[in-house]
């Protein structure tokens, strides 16, 4: 349940993060694009005046219907303050006579010296338009035999854009943090009914297991009494067979419940030998079922845990292989660093989308054998998790593979 809760919080936070990033990303991209567009409008006005504003020659601020330019806001051509607020310089180059020195046509900027302005222009004269030194927008254009380089300072305008960007990043981080805090609280509320249902299910299983035991004992004893009085009949044999089946299910349920609730009786034991022994015990069954048993067991692997539980785990894996393997079953035990890996594959295919369900209690897949109750792999998972291990199932090359990481 904790895992599901964590998953819920993770996915919800991730969704909020992605959504906010997309939204604010689009807003910020628009702000930067518009800033560049505004700057280009201004450099275009300057270009139309051959490198500077020429109000004395009839140049007026603002876009006109004739020139096709769009209004760009109070700081742009629409503003009567445009001529006095734009920080810019223009340098011209004589293309007909390259020996002539570049000429500073206009200079209305404080952050760049005249010498620097000429140097910048020399660097940029082969370009077209773009950003330089972070917040300076330039435009290179030809008028007659001259090439003009106009550079305007958009620092103050860009500052706003950068502030929006900064607040967006902070906003996203805060939103993620707050939503994580909120979701942690909300998850408790959201999962409360699910946890309650899960608790009830476990309690029901534990009680059912307990409540089944007594009737089974009584049925079995009474069948024995009938047998002893009248001799065995088909009916009492059937009763005994079904009692044995139920007994097996009840015992497994009991083990599963006890295993999840009781303390472990841990001892150091040889897992390599345990796996070998379990496979040895069942080798003839594999031969009888015409299944080739492939074992790759690294020797000398020890484990601290409940030995009985691991014996049961091996039995479950073997039963699983005997039930579902088509031609071969493979068991591998090896060490990878400090971790012990136990891999069981049985060459069988699983119904689509059922890999995640194989560990659920009472989950019987479409290809399951008749009589399966869906407890075997639930037990395998319970044992592994109680020993702080991980278990995963996958389909590799069309074959069902179970991996235990201990």
Partner 1 sequence: MKLLFAASDRDLLRCCTELLGREGYETDTAFDGVQALTKLSRGGCALVILSSDIQRVEPERIIEHCRADGLPVLELLSTPLTLKMLLSNSPANTYLELPFGPEELIGAVSDLTEKLASDTELVFDELSVKVSAFEMNGVPITAEETDVLIELEKGNYRPLGNNGTLVASLNGKFAKLGLRKRIEYRKNEGYRMVKKDE
Closest by CA position to 264, among listed 213, 312, 307: 307
Residue-wise DSSP of 65-89: TTT-PPP--TTTTT-TTHHHH--EE
User: Do 98 and 66 touch, CB atoms closer than 8 A?
Assistant: no
Q: Which of residues 10-29 bind partner 1 (CB under 8 A)?
A: none
| Cβ burial 304-326 (10 Å sphere, 16+ → b, else e) | ebbbebbbbbbbbbbebbbbbbe
Alpha-carbon Rg for the chain in angstroms: 40
Residue with Cβ nearer partner 1 (94 or 307): 307
CB of 377 to partner 1, least distance (A): 20
CB of 275 to partner 1, least distance (A): 10
State the Cα–Cα distance between residues 135 and 340, nearest whole angstrom: 58
User: Do 89 and 108 touch, CB atoms closer than 8 A?
Assistant: yes
- Contacts of 242 by beta carbon, 8 Å cutoff, 6+ apart: none
CB of 306 to partner 1, least distance (A): 5
Give yes or no for residue 85 binding partner 1 (CB under 8 A): no
Give yes or no for residue 263 binding partner 1 (CB under 8 A): yes
Q: Which of residues 291-320 bind partner 1 (CB under 8 A)?
A: 300, 302, 306-309, 311
Three-class SS of residue 80? coil
CB of 236 to partner 1, least distance (A): 12
Of 56, 98, 268, 397, the one binding partner 1 (CB under 8 A) is 268
HSE-CB of 234 using CA atoms within 13 angstroms: 0
Per DSSP, what are the bridge partners of residue 146?
A: 94, 143
Q: Which of residues 186-245 bind partner 1 (CB under 8 A)?
A: 210, 212-214, 216-218, 220-222, 224-225, 228, 243
State the Cα–Cα distance between residues 172 and 197, nearest whole angstrom: 36
Where does this chain touch partner 1 (CB under 8 A) — which range of 1-9, 22-30, 172-180, 250-258? 250-258
CB of 214 to partner 1, least distance (A): 6
CB of 318 to partner 1, least distance (A): 15
Where does this chain touch partner 1 (CB under 8 A) — which range of 101-109, 158-166, 258-266, 318-326? 258-266
Where does this chain touch partner 1 (CB under 8 A) — which range of 190-198, 247-255, 326-334, 361-369? 247-255
Looking at residue 55, the DSSP 8-state letter turns out to be: G
Where does this chain touch partner 1 (CB under 8 A) — which range of 112-120, 144-152, 261-269, 337-345? 261-269
Of 36, 186, 250, 289, the one binding partner 1 (CB under 8 A) is 250
Give yes or no for residue 254 binding partner 1 (CB under 8 A): yes
- Contacts of 199 by beta carbon, 8 Å cutoff, 6+ apart: none
| Cβ burial 343-377 (10 Å sphere, 16+ → b, else e) | bbbbbbebeeebbeebbebebeeeeeeeebbbbbb
| Token pair recorded at residue 51 | 């490198």
Q: How many residues bind partner 1 (CB under 8 A)?
A: 38
Residue with Cβ nearer partner 1 (103 or 213): 213
Binding site for partner 1 (CB under 8 A): 210, 212-214, 216-218, 220-222, 224-225, 228, 243, 246-247, 250, 254-255, 258, 262-263, 265-270, 273-274, 277, 300, 302, 306-309, 311
């Amino acid at each position: 349940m904790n895992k599901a809760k964590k998953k819920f919080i993770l996915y919800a936070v991730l969704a909020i993060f992605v959504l906010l990033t997309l939204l604010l990303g689009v807003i910020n991209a628009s702000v930067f694009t518009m800033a560049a567009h505004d700057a280009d409008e201004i450099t275009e006005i300057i270009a139309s005046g051959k490198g500077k504003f020429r109000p004395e020659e009839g140049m007026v601020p603002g876009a006109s219907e004739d020139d096709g330019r769009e209004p760009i806001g109070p700081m742009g051509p629409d503003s009567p303050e445009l001529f006095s607020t734009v920080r810019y310089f223009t340098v011209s180059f004589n293309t007909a006579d390259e020996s002539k020195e570049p000429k500073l046509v206009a200079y209305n900027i404080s952050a760049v010296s005249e010498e620097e302005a000429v140097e910048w222009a020399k660097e940029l004269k082969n370009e077209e338009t773009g950003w330089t030194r972070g917040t300076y927008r330039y435009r290179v254009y030809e008028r007659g035999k001259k090439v003009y380089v106009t550079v305007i300072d958009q620092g103050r305008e860009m500052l706003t854009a950068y502030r929006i960007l900064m607040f967006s990043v902070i906003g996203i981080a805060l939103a993620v943090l707050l939503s994580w805090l909120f979701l942690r609280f909300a998850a408790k509320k959201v999962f409360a009914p699910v946890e309650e249902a899960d608790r009830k299910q476990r309690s029901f299983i534990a009680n059912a297991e307990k409540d089944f035991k007594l009737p089974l004992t009584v049925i079995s004893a009474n069948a024995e009494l009938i047998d002893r009085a009248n001799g065995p009949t088909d009916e009492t044999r059937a009763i005994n067979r079904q009692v044995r089946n139920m007994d097996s299910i009840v015992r497994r349920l009991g083990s599963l419940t006890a295993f999840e609730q009781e303390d472990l009786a841990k001892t150091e034991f040889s897992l390599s030998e345990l796996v070998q022994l379990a496979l040895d015990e069942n080798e003839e069954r594999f031969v009888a079922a015409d299944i080739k048993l492939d074992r790759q067991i690294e020797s000398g692997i020890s484990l601290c845990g409940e030995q009985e539980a691991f014996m049961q785990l091996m039995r479950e894996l073997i039963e699983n292989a005997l039930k579902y393997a088509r031609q071969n079953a493979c068991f591998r035990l090896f060490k990878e660093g400090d971790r012990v890996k136990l891999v069981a594959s049985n060459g069988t295919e699983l119904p689509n989308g059922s890999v995640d369900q194989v560990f659920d209690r009472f989950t019987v897949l479409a290809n399951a054998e008749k009589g399966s109750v869906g407890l075997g792999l639930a037990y395998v998972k319970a044992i592994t998790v109680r020993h702080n291990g991980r278990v995963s199932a996958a389909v590799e090359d069309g074959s069902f593979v179970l991996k235990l990481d201990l």
